[in-house]
Amino acid sequence: MDGTTLTRQQYLRRSTLGLLIFVSLWTLASWIELAPRKFLPLPWDVVERGLDLVIRPFSGHLLQAHLAASIDRYVRGFALAAIVGVPLGLLMGWYRWLDNIVTPLFDSLRFVAPIAWVPFAALWFGTGIGGPILIIFAGAFSPCLLNAYRGARYVERKYIEAAQVLGASGPRIVCEVLLPASLPSVISGLRVGAGAGWQSLIGAELIAANSGIGLMMVRGQAALDTSIVMVGMIAAGVIGMVVDVALRGVEIWIERKRGA
């Protein structure tokens, strides 16, 4: 082990220390009323409010129901972005004519912030599930496509030539050569897309949803209940971290398999 490598125990200790420092600073700021206690509650007040939301509905649903609604929308939107973005990126990396057709339109749209799609989502889908899915798709699609495309473009030429010598056609080369060789880049794109999609979901639910963590937060803000807003922020952060850790685990597993 070199000097920059941390063991799991060291990582956990340092992460715990960082969390304790953050909570301590938060407690101190609330205790001395850096902001009015109503707008900067103590950590245990937020925990107590979170536990209360588990058994008492807020904005028509319990906390776990809001979480379930958000996760359901997120899974659908992110899955759609991955299912469309990854294959399209690989195909663009192989077929130059497809790259020339898609790239101008893609480059003009990928710089539009996902939240900018909220008015269209609200007009087209109202508060139904289609609106948040559209916005999640808009957030997650670009990283999924770009990383798959870049991975396919930088595959070593010798692998492609070997497949061609063996008589492999374009679709077989994409599936059997480009995809396996691009897998680390694809997983990296999924990680970035997963984070962008989750952030987009929360923004969408602030405006175009009838349930979910984002809606709970905006209703809490309207009720001047900062504890509810903080519960929503913490829940969103924890779920986002779990998704990223899971994808990071897949990425590490793939790297180990490739190195074996």
Architecture of the domain delimited by 42-259:
Orthogonal Bundle (1.10)
SS3 category, 5: coil
Is residue 190 predicted with pLDDT exceeding 90? yes
**φ, ψ for residue 61 (rounded to 5)?**
-145, 155
d(CA 196, CA 136): 8
pLDDT of residue 3: 47
Residues 6+ apart with CB under 8 A from 227: 41, 45, 46, 48, 49, 50, 220
pLDDT of residue 87: 92
- Distance from CA of residue 14 to its chain's centroid? 25
- The whole-model pTM stands at 0.83
Is residue 236 predicted with pLDDT exceeding 80? yes
Question: Of 198, 234, 201, which is closest to residue 49 (Cα–Cα)?
Answer: 234
Q: Please say whether the beta carbons of 114 and 200 come within 8 A.
A: yes
- Distance from CA of residue 8 to its chain's centroid? 24
pLDDT of residue 224: 86
d(CA 131, CA 106): 21
d(CA 230, CA 46): 7
Question: Of 226, 220, 183, 166, which is closest to residue 45 (Cα–Cα)?
Answer: 226
Is residue 35 predicted with pLDDT exceeding 50? yes
pLDDT tens for 43-71 read 898 999 999 999 998 888 899 999 998 99
Amino acid at 201: L
d(CA 217, CA 223): 10
Paired strand residues for 127: none
Identify the residue with better confidence: 258 or 109.
Answer: 109
d(CA 152, CA 180): 10
